[in-house]
Amino acid sequence: FEPNLRIATPKSYIIGPDDRLLIDLNGDNEASYDLPVSPDGIISLQYVGRIAVAGLTIEQATSKIRSALSSTYPSLRSGRTSVAVNLGNIRSIKIIMTGQVVKPGTYTLSSLSTVYNALYASGGPAQNGSFRNIQLIRNNKVVANIDVYDFLLRGIQQGNIRLQDQDVINVPVFEKRVEITGEVKRSALFEVAKNETLKDVIDFAGGFTTQAYTAKIKAFQNTDKDRKISDISASEFNIYQPKNGDKFVVEAILDRFANRVEIIGAVFRPGVYELENGLTLRGLINKSDGLTEDAFLNRGYINRLNPDNTQALISFDVAKIIAGTETDIPLQREDKITISSILDLRDEYKVTIQGEVRAPSTFEYADSMTLESVIQLAGGFKEGATPNRIEISRRVRNSDATAA
């Protein structure tokens, strides 16, 4: 926010006392002048005389100096000699910051400084200061009302006016301020200008997040007696004009799916699927690329969410549904279909080998498993093993046990 002092002289720069002008002639005639601007706004050119330049822009001063030099250098009239006027030394100016600024007072700045440079030097608008209606006062007249939102939110410096000596910048109290929170990208307080709508506030906040419920926004408002809440529909965003103190809350979408069904278990592609119009149980099994070889065909289940949020369990014969000999079942939102594997329905047995073997471990039992095969799976005997002394223990069901 410091002014750039290494730029080419702006044509709109207004010359004042203590500036220094570099005047260069090129062409048929060559000459250079380095002239201070006197306190009364005058430069003195040898063989030409005094020229009043204070209050002129660089462009206007160049034209005036060219006209004055043309009597001494006639080739200026024909264009065979050109003249260029630039700043050699940049003067300082004093400006005054008033109103709702963090550090009001008088500031000495470069004459290339702008309104934004002055705001930065003074700490910017205070807590109750306006960002939308900053007044630039020159010769006791408001010459510009500056809205810095374009710069703060979009980086556009459209209202960044260059300052002049004794300019006054006044930051008034804000008139209308609202808050927006929830599922927007930039939750904050925002100042709202005349004729701006809720859509503008949403834009200030960076728009909605991906989780925003955009059909409606809740507005919490203050009345003369109490508070009230209003629901503003999406069709009103462009026309609703916020009131001072409004608080807008953008809620999140519901954490549920409008068209989801799920199938798990013994199918080739378990997972969630779109509930298309007319989708049935058989259709979903086909969408999941069918049953695996180990599917349990006698029974499957549908977990269904009832309208009252209770769960219902619907059983079906998997084989008959696939064959079409049992009435197919239309699916509903959030149905969860389970088709078990026969491997999941049988007991799991383990065999453990310990002691003087190379790799003591536990193995899954197989029907053809023998003691010799278990020893081989464990890496065989160690050197100190006694092969003729192997203990085998197993759990045996007591057929004589009776219920108490």
**Percent of the chain clearing pLDDT 70 (strictly above):** 96
Spatial CA neighbour of 177 closest among 217, 132, 208, 230 = 132
Same-domain status, 190 and 208: yes
The CATH number linked to 133 is: 3.10.560.10
Same-domain status, 207 and 246: yes
Same-domain status, 331 and 387: no
Q: What is the pLDDT of residue 401?
A: 46
Q: What is the pLDDT of residue 404?
A: 37
Report the distance separating Cα 372 and Cα 77, nearest Å.
Answer: 117
| Within-domain flag for 10 | no
Say yes or no to pLDDT of 400 above 60: no
Same-domain status, 204 and 221: yes
| Within-domain flag for 245 | yes
Same-domain status, 84 and 105: no
Same-domain status, 146 and 206: no
Domain boundary among 344, 362, 377: 344
Greatest mean pLDDT among 62-76, 136-150, 373-387 lies in 136-150
Q: What is the pLDDT of residue 129?
A: 96
Domain boundary among 250, 279, 309: 250
| Within-domain flag for 11 | no
Say yes or no to pLDDT of 258 above 70: yes
Same-domain status, 27 and 75: yes
* Predicted model pTM: 0.67
How much is the average pLDDT of 18-42?
A: 90
Calculate the alpha carbon distances from 106 to 102, 103, 129, 137 in Å. 13, 10, 18, 14
Same-domain status, 301 and 275: yes
How much is the average pLDDT of 152-173?
A: 90
- State pLDDT tens for residues 297-353: 999 999 999 988 899 999 999 999 999 999 999 999 999 999 999 988 877 788 999
Q: What is the pLDDT of residue 3?
A: 56
| Within-domain flag for 69 | yes
Same-domain status, 264 and 340: yes
- The answer to whether residues 206 and 184 touch, using CB atoms and an 8 Å cutoff, is yes
Please state which of the ranges 36-40, 134-138, 360-364, 382-386 shows the lowest mean pLDDT. 382-386
How much is the average pLDDT of 166-175?
A: 96
How much is the average pLDDT of 391-403?
A: 68
Which range of residues forms the domain containing residue 325? Answer: 260-344
Same-domain status, 269 and 335: yes
Domain boundary among 153, 171, 189: 171
| Within-domain flag for 338 | yes
For the chain, what is the mean pLDDT? Answer: 91
Same-domain status, 266 and 337: yes
Q: What is the pLDDT of residue 388?
A: 85
Domain count, the chain: 5
Say yes or no to pLDDT of 403 above 70: no
Identity of the amino acid at 382: K
In the numeric block, the tokens 């029974």 are attached to 299
| Within-domain flag for 255 | no
| Within-domain flag for 220 | yes
Same-domain status, 120 and 44: no
Say yes or no to pLDDT of 6 above 80: no
- State pLDDT tens for residues 180-213: 999 999 999 999 999 999 999 999 999 999 999 9
| Within-domain flag for 228 | yes
Read off the pLDDT band of 402 (50, 70, 90). Answer: very low
Read off the pLDDT band of 7 (50, 70, 90). Answer: low
C-alpha dihedral (222, 226, 231, 237), degrees to nearest 10? -20
How much is the average pLDDT of 157-163?
A: 85
Say yes or no to pLDDT of 4 above 70: no
Three-state SS annotation for the chain: CCCCCCCCCCCCCECCCCCEEEEEEEECCCEEEEEECCCCCEEEECCCEEEECCCCEHHHHHHHHHHHHCCCCCHHHHCCEEEEEEEEECCEEEEEEEECECCCEEEEEECCCEHHHHHHHCCCECCCECCCCEEEEECCEEEEEECCHHHHHHCCCCCCCECCCCCEEEECECCCEEEEEECECCCEEEECCCCCCHHHHHHHCCCECCCECCCEEEEEEECCCCEEEEEEEHHHCCCCCCCCCCEEEECECCCCCCCEEEEEECECCCEEEECCCCCEHHHHHHHCCCECCCEEEEEEEEEEECCCCCEEEEEECHHHHHHCCCCCCECCCCCEEEEEEHHHCCCCCEEEECCCECCCEEEECCCCCCHHHHHHHCCCECCCCCCCCCCCCCCCCCCCCCCC
Q: What is the pLDDT of residue 192?
A: 96
Say yes or no to pLDDT of 266 above 60: yes
